[in-house]
Chains A and B, each alone.
Chain A
Amino acid sequence: MKFLVCISKVPDTTSKIGFTDNNSKFNEAGVQFIVNPYDEWYALVRALELKEANGGSVTIITVGEQSDEPVMRKALAIGADEAVRINAKSDDSFFIAKQIAEYAKNNSFDVVLCGKETINFNSAQVPATIAELLDMPLVSLATKLDINGNTATLERDVQGGSEVVEVQTPFVLSAAKGMAEQRIPNMKGIMMARSKPLNVVEPVSVEAHTEILSYELPSGKTECKYVEADKMDELIELLHNEAKVI
């Protein structure tokens, strides 16, 4: 079985977020980058587990520049067999999905796995767009994946419970928490990562659908004002004139 796992480079969760160029670009200075946790912990690790149990291969793919290669090698160190980098930089979900879909189309994979979203842009659009472009079924927000022959059984979180879905390969999924446990790359994996293939593929021509104009940080914590329980007039006055919400 051939697995394609889409991975994305994201800032470490403890990074200090800042912007440059008139708030139009993310300031990468001093930021440590990691593999998007949804891609790594759930999608990649589950694909590796299935490969280890039933055979096959795991290819990781990312749309990015050379500076993305360290996080790709981390995915190789965890156990992926080979890596593909589509040599382009974009923040547009359609652009990224189209690049991945083109590669997937030409290399016929049984399962395309994505994390449910990236932790920096959170658009959550890439998995569905890939599925649409490949004309494959999508199982979103999957928390469990088992494969038997050409039939995959997945669980999804739904309001107040879970849903079991069956789907035939090939298909696309987006992975959510629970699908697998984080794996720490071991020394052997780290040393083998250097010699595994990392192929650079030029992008196909695609027009981005969106453009990010500017970013804004959420306003800091505001002060909490306490009003005595029996002073309702004061509360209404504050809501009217200070918070201006009623």
Chain B
Amino acid sequence: METTTKQALKGGEFLVKESKAENVFIPEEFGEEQRMIAQTCKDYVSQEVFPNLDAVDEQQEGLVEGLLKKAGELGILGVHIPEQYGGFGKDFVTEMLVAESLGDAHSTSVALMAHMGIGTLPILYYGNEEQKKKYIPKLSNGEWAAAYCLTEPGSGSDANSGKTKAVLSEDGKNWILNGQKMWITNAGFADVFTVFAKIDDDKNLSAFIVEKGFEGITLNAEEKKMGIKGSSTRQVFFNNCVVPLENQLGEREIGFKIALNILNVGRVKLGAAVLGACKKVISNAVNYSNERSQFGRPISKYGAIRFKLAEQCIRTFAMESALYRASKNIQDKIAELESEGMTHEKAQLKGVEEYAAECAIMKVLGSEVLDYVADEGVQIYGGMGYSAEAPMDRAYRDARINRIFEGSNEINRMLIVDMLLKRAMKGQLDLMGPATKVAGELMSVPSSDDEDLGMFSDLKKNVKNFKKSALMVAGAAVQKLMQTLSKEQEILMNVADMLIDIYAAESIILRVEKLIELKGEDAVKEQVDMMNVFVYDMADRINKYGKDAINSFAEGDEQRMMLMGLKRFTKVEPLNIKEARQRIAAKLINENKYCF
């Protein structure tokens, strides 16, 4: 029947279209096998990693390498690898669940993510059959460890400016690589490196599979880092490194494209990993606040602490809702492309590329939620939070890198806007139509809005209006600034912040709606509170981002009109947020662990 066909939104369409709850995936829908896989990952972390956290951070010889091998033996490294290359061929959502379930393993998590993501995926997605057969099974079972060499001392965010060179050897049988790579995760024990370098005087990077045994590779000492101290991070030098021709990965000059596409996957996966870390921090924080007494009562009885606990949960829940919604959209797109005859690997890439903006949203949102959660985790622990004896010290230090790697959050914010605009220009996404409509609405008398959007109609209308705010600001900015917009980074940040909040808010509403249908209202009262507080809170944020942007480029009547429109679009009903947060915290405190 036509009406039962799933109407998934295309990449970026969330800004201009509404989704139905029945069309989004929520984590409460995981199946038995997925839960079992997640449990295996969690058991691995609690049995193998947690007893060794200090030793890992002290970089005890061979420890992380051994942990990686152990994960390989359990099959964890191959969950997402197709069966013909020695993996288990699980879908994209399961891949994200695995990342979440390993996400609280601190440095080991970083080592695993790097191996399974940027280490393995370039070969899986861009390798030819021989390359895949040679390397993927060994990477899938942990026999070999992988690293990814993109960044150089002079080229970080501007990755395509790398100076590492590849030239043909005199006999024409090998590539000779020369250059220096920096911040290379797993460098200390990696057996295989995906190295990006420019052939001759090419403008764009090419990629090469380099084995540890090839001559001409040297490593610097381990970097001294603020956090993730146990993950191996070194500089890698290529001095006339001899790479057989057949180890060129993909065509000449597509290295930058490989790098970008792999990072798309990495970004959404980072969102999944930090989710696991958030839940662990919250569980520790609530447990501590229940144990720690001051003035004769556990500190979890105090409103100031309850506020923090509730807010940690609200943000984590919102992020999780967005993460699995985006992941399932990606998975459905992959399946659709495969059914049209595309290879699995190509479909994976294209599926993720379709939702590249959502991937970047998850990277920024996830890493900043974890930073908030970890920061308040330290605060809840008080003095003990500052002690290296308690778990918050490590959580806080390890969280920070997430805002920097896989593309800094600033780069990602710009990408979010840039990717939506590019899609609009290519005709894949109609932004200008809706933006023009909003501009028209500004000039007309506000009509009474009695449209019924089903469950949580008012909240959905709020989000619809937040979208109008973003469209109004972005549309006007595009018109006014034209080509120079890409240089107006402050305005791009404002717009990106609006989009991130909007995506999260819509995701949390759709999830709660679906939850009510699944479990009934009584079972998810606190989730309803979380949704209400999130939408209430973000109205002021949208207003602030919008105002800052408008005041940065508009003036006169246009400025006044947009500010008035913004005021109208960001109006929400009053809410007793104190009571709502109290209820959320009470549930958490009673369960004594993250429970949503």
Contacts and interface: CB of A to CB of B under 8 A. Distances in A.
Interface of A: 14, 16, 29-30, 70, 73-74, 77, 182, 184-188, 190-191, 193-194
Interface of B: 32-33, 35-37, 39-40, 43-44, 47, 73-76, 78-79, 88, 523, 590-593, 595
Given A16-B592, A30-B595, A187 B74 contact: yes
Contacts of A193: 36
A187 B79 contact: yes
A184 B40 contact: yes
B268 to A, nearest CB: 22
Nearest to B36: A190
A187 B74 CA distance: 6
B44 A74 contact: no
B73 A77 contact: no
A185 B75 CA distance: 10
B75 A14 contact: no
A185 B33 CA distance: 12
Contact of A187 (B37, B47, B523): B37
Interface-centre pick from B35, B74, B78 (highest chain A CB count, 10 A): B74
Contacts of A70: 32, 35-36
A186 B523 contact: no
A40 to B, nearest CB: 11
Given A29-B523, A187-B88, A73 B36 contact: yes
Contacts of A182: 43, 47
A201 B269 CA distance: 44
A149 to B, nearest CB: 32
Given A16-B592, A70-B32, A190 B47 contact: no
A16 B590 contact: yes
B36 A77 contact: yes
Contacts of B591: 16, 30
26 contacts: A14-B592, A14-B593, A16-B591, A16-B592, A70-B32, A70-B35, A73-B32, A74-B36, A74-B39, A182-B43, A182-B47, A184-B40, A184-B44, A184-B47, A184-B74, A185-B36, A186-B75, A187-B40, A187-B76, A187-B88, A188-B75, A190-B33, A190-B37, A191-B33, A191-B88, A194-B33
Given A70-B32, A194-B33, A186 B590 contact: no
Contacts of B33: 190-191, 194
B13 to A, nearest CB: 35
Most B-side CB within 10 Å, residue of A30, A188, A190: A190
Nearest to B32: A70
A31 to B, nearest CB: 11
A61 B33 CA distance: 20
User: Which applies to chain B's interface (DSSP): helix, strand, loop or mixed?
Assistant: helix
A187 B88 CA distance: 7
A20 to B, nearest CB: 13
A184 B45 CA distance: 11
**Among B36, B39, B43, B75, which residue has the most Cβ atoms of chain A within 10 A?**
B36
Contacts of B40: 184-187, 190
A187 B75 contact: yes
Contacts of B43: 182, 184
A188 to B, nearest CB: 6
Contacts of B592: 14, 16
Nearest to B74: A186
Given A16-B592, A186-B73, 16 more contacts: A14-B592, A29-B523, A30-B595, A73-B36, A184-B40, A184-B43, A184-B47, A184-B74, A186-B40, A187-B74, A187-B76, A187-B78, A190-B40, A190-B75, A193-B36, A194-B33
Nearest to B48: A184
User: Which A-B residue pairs are the 3 nearest by beta carbons?
Assistant: A187-B75, A184-B43, A186-B74
A16 B586 CA distance: 14
Q: Which of B40, B44, B73: most chain A Cβ within 10 A?
A: B40
Contacts of A14: 592-593
Nearest to A77: B36
Nearest to B87: A187
A74 B79 CA distance: 17
A91 B428 CA distance: 61
Contacts of A186: 40, 73-75
A132 to B, nearest CB: 36
Contacts of B88: 187-188, 191
A193 B39 CA distance: 15
B491 to A, nearest CB: 45
A190 B591 CA distance: 29
A185 B40 CA distance: 6
A16 B290 CA distance: 14
A77 B39 CA distance: 12
Contacts of B44: 184
Contacts of A191: 33, 88
Contacts of A30: 591, 595
Nearest to A184: B43
Nearest to B591: A16
A156 to B, nearest CB: 27
Contacts of A188: 75, 88
A184 B70 CA distance: 11
Contacts of A184: 40, 43-44, 47, 74
A198 to B, nearest CB: 12
A77 B88 CA distance: 15
A191 B33 CA distance: 8
Contacts of A16: 590-592
B286 to A, nearest CB: 12
Nearest to A223: B296
Contacts of B47: 182, 184
A194 B34 CA distance: 12
A70 B36 CA distance: 9
Nearest to A69: B32
A162 to B, nearest CB: 26
A235 to B, nearest CB: 22
B115 to A, nearest CB: 16
B143 to A, nearest CB: 15
A191 B79 CA distance: 11
Name the residue among A16, A70, A184, A194 with the largest chain B CB count within 10 angstroms: A184
Nearest to A16: B591
A181 to B, nearest CB: 9
A1 B78 CA distance: 34
